[in-house]
Structure 1
Amino acid sequence: MTFSRLLRALAHAGLFALAAGAVHAQSWPGKPVRLLVGSPPGGPSDITARTFADQLGKRIGQPVVVENRPGAGNNLAAAAAARAEPDGTTLVLSPDTVLTVNPLVYTSGDFNAARDLVNISVVASFSQMLVCNTAAGVRSVAELVAKAKGGTSLMYASGGPGVPGHLASEMLLEQTKVRMEHVPYRGPAPATQAVLGGEVACGFLATPTVLPHVKSGRLVALAVSSEAPSSLAPDVPTLAKALNQPGLDVSFRLVLQAAKATPPAVVAEIEKHAAEIMKQADVRERLKNYDLTAVGSTSAQAQQVLTAEMKRWEPVVKRLGLKAE
């Protein structure tokens, strides 16, 4: 084959690929869509997923069904999405720790979110609230740090190794140079119950989950991990203010993903829907009511942010020697 014919053949192949991608996008989804969530109902991922699913279903004229598959630090749901048919009809919404931390923690399996999934959009961001049982006798971060430095043995709860609450707690301990014993539970709900019951003193947990207990007086709120105050609890100081460290931001992101081999045109179509849905005033207000901030990034922006977060948390994970049991 002459060089000119080869160029024409390659050009034809490229046009064919583009046309095939366009057909995929035009025919998507063609059937109901599943949106997997790796946590139980009621948490940030679940609230965001159900809000997004409702709006996406109206736009595409197909049911979008949310399925909760909690376990393994959100890995069970993410792995199920990675194994699904790569046609964009099985999606997963996960906290960014699935990509930034889990590949370093869950090393015994054959699943790696950073390798096996494509990032479609960062749809929202969220923070954690540091709460303590009233029996701990602390009402501020300064009092907690002083108590720990004074030799009092304190324990804190999280929903498992490497989850947002665990990371936020370790960031606090690293910044203040104090020690507290980490007690991982099988999800945020039992971790919250452990703090309420006095099994452990404190924990960084999802604001909507713990705020009712703060308002009832059963828990004391010490700080929120985000750089900006919580709209649900504006009187609770940020961790940056409590530690006098302007710019300190320990917030997390919820990432919409699909199987790696999903056609780029389909990814682009879902990305477009995500961006437009997250711009809607009613969606933004609903999420704000649950201490969530709507984002709706592009796929490229999601990858850029997640790469930076991987670099941020890798040394923390290695310092702690985190490994799933």
Structure 2
Amino acid sequence: MKIRSLLAAVLFAATAFGSHAETYPSRPIRLVVGFGAGGPTDVAARTYAARLGEILKQPVIVDNRAGATGGIAANMVTHADPDGYTLIFVTSPMMTMVPVVQKAVGYDPVKSFTPIGLVSDYANVLLVKAGSPVRSVADLTRTAAKGNGVTYGSASIGASNHFCAELLAQMTGTTMLHVPYKGSAQATTDLLGGKIDFMFDATGTAVGQIRGGTVRPLAVTSARRSPALPDVPTMAEAGIRNYSMSGWFAVLGPPNLPRTVVDTLTRANLALGRDKAYEESIRKAGYEPMLTVPAELTEHITRDLALWRGVAAKAGIRPE
């Protein structure tokens, strides 16, 4: 009897432990962000984390690890335990542009992570100073075609707004001089000061300047018009056929996340797509909800990597 009772107790304990071990999440989740607090990526991540935590019934805590264009955060997560309690909120340039222009990023965008899903997308918008004689994309490309030394600014070499302008130059067969800065804010300052002719900027960031009347938007880079700027044409509508480029945010985990964890996070991610409060808050920040399954995220990374590698090769941009 004693042996039978002991076996029953052991079986009960094992069952109870197994049940507990399979319950995910059972404690707070850390969502790592590769940029500083208060920036556009951080704002989007915190909006996402707050609603995700409500769905999972566990706090999702944003952990800012800025540096190396998101590389510090990315490398930290690739080496985290694959238990689902450390995730990363990434921007598309981290996954599809930085690896094109930097030799030693330390991670493979496809192989070093477990994809969870896309979260939202955003357009860039082509901007000129409010008093600029350039009033359309056609005006801009005509000026460039004449060899008049058209200049544009970007946040850095390989940044989203750098590649947007390089793609425009390649598609129109024109030459435009790139002036890289340490962040888009510095480029905007020089745009307003007349030191550069144009720049691209994220719609969410640019809306304030547009509404304030200091810059003029010529076109958005997405395939459809931005709800934040409904009167601004797309690049295709402005005459650049087949020009379509959208940035995006996404969530990934360390490599080898268990399938049960991935499934739980995927269900929660998709649930946010049906959350009206989340949609409203993310649109207010200038982004469009785009909540997907892991396979769609992998497809976006693979497709965009191929696009920007081609653009970089044609422009003679080599990894440094």
- Count matched residues: 304
My pick for the range that moved more, 193-202 or 205-214, is 193-202
Distance 1:50 1:212 in 2: 21
Residues 68-107 of structure 1, C-alpha deviations (whole Å, 9 max, x = no match):
3333333232222222222222211112232223222221
Aligned residues of 1:73 and 1:160 also touching (Cα < 8 A): no
Normalising by structure 1, report the TM-score: 0.85
Instruction: Tell whether 2:189 aligns with 1:193.
Output: yes
Instruction: Tell whether 2:159 aligns with 1:163.
Output: yes
Question: What SS is found at the alignment partner of 1:93?
Answer: strand
Residues 258-291 of structure 1, C-alpha deviations (whole Å, 9 max, x = no match):
1113222212211111111122122122222233
When the two chains are superposed, the root-mean-square deviation of aligned CA atoms in Å is 2.4
CA shift, 1:44, in A, is: 4.5
Query: Which aligned pairs between 1:159-308 and structure 2 lie closer than 5 A?
Result: 159-245=155-241, 247-308=242-303
Distance 1:98 1:199 in 2: 28
Residues 40-59 of structure 1, C-alpha deviations (whole Å, 9 max, x = no match):
44554333211110011222
CA shift, 1:298, in A, is: 0.7
- Equivalent residue, structure 1, for 2:65: 69
Instruction: State the one-letter code of the partner of 1:207.
Output: T
- Equivalent residue, structure 2, for 1:95: 91
Aligned residues of 1:287 and 1:294 also touching (Cα < 8 A): yes
Instruction: State the one-letter code of the partner of 2:308.
Output: W
Aligned residues of 1:232 and 1:290 also touching (Cα < 8 A): no
Distance 2:153 2:64 in 1: 22
Distance 1:185 1:90 in 2: 32
Distance 1:78 1:198, change over 3 A: farther
Aligned residues of 1:158 and 1:185 also touching (Cα < 8 A): yes
Normalising by structure 2, report the TM-score: 0.86
Aligned residues of 2:147 and 2:175 also touching (Cα < 8 A): no
Aligned residues of 2:110 and 2:301 also touching (Cα < 8 A): no
CA shift, 1:21, in A, is: 10
CA shift, 1:127, in A, is: 0.8
Query: Which aligned pairs between 1:24-43 and structure 2 lie closer than 5 A?
Result: 26-41=22-37, 43=39
CA shift, 1:39, in A, is: 3.1
Distance 1:218 1:61, change over 3 A: same
CA shift, 1:300, in A, is: 1.6
Instruction: Tell whether 2:48 aligns with 1:52.
Output: yes
Aligned residues of 2:33 and 2:62 also touching (Cα < 8 A): yes
Identity rate, percent: 31
Which structure shows the bigger proportion of residues in helix conformation?
1
- Equivalent residue, structure 2, for 1:322: 317
Q: 5+ residue gaps in structure 1?
A: 1-19
Structure index of larger Rg = 2
Distance 1:105 1:55, change over 3 A: same
Distance 1:92 1:106, change over 3 A: same
Aligned residues of 1:100 and 1:306 also touching (Cα < 8 A): yes
Distance 1:192 1:256 in 2: 29
Question: What SS is found at the alignment partner of 2:61?
Answer: strand
